[in-house]
Amino acid sequence: MHKTYQPKAGEVKRNWHLIDASESVLGRFSTQIVKLLMGKVKASYSSHMDSGDYVVVINAKKLELSGKKEFQKVYRSHSGYPGGFKEIKIAKLLKESPEKVILHSVSGMLPDNRLKSARLRRLKIFTDEKHPYGDKFRREFSS
């Protein structure tokens, strides 16, 4: 009887991926990132283990939204205290800090388990083309 090989945590090789966000739609773009962060593109993927790669996103300020989301989508949060309800429109957040929009989208697509925070730490987002990780990439994506 053959048994499926399960790689150990020390055997995981993490690659670096550079993704250009210019003229990309937020949802489709985020799913690409999530697949790389989780390691679903690897043959050795296992849901209980963190086998994902590093992802560097550039040109976050050139990200696009489909439909009427730019005018209608609102992020809401509550601190738990009286009067702690906050709302911010996505258009305003895209102008102020587009990296938060991508982070929020990717975070919502990742499963809520112990591996989520480690996966999000491997996501590096930059508003323009400048980043300090130039020598680490194997291949580049453009969506």
Looking at residue 141, its pLDDT comes to 62
The rounded percent of the chain whose pLDDT value lies above 90 is 80
C-alpha–C-alpha distance, residues 5 and 51, integer Å: 14
Q: What angle, 0 to 180 degrees and rounded to 10, lies between the N-to-C axes of helices 26-38 and 98-109?
A: 60
Q: Domain 16-66+97-129 falls in which CATH fold?
A: Ribosomal Protein L13p; Chain: A; (3.90.1180)
The residue extents of the domains of the chain are 16-66+97-129
pLDDT 10s digits, 6-23: 888 888 899 999 999 999
Instruction: Name the residue with higher pLDDT: 141 or 114.
Output: 114
Instruction: Name the residue with higher pLDDT: 36 or 141.
Output: 36
pTM metric for this prediction = 0.89
Looking at residue 94, its pLDDT comes to 95
Looking at residue 134, its pLDDT comes to 86
> Which residues neighbour 104 within 8 Å (Cβ) at sequence distance 6 or greater?
75
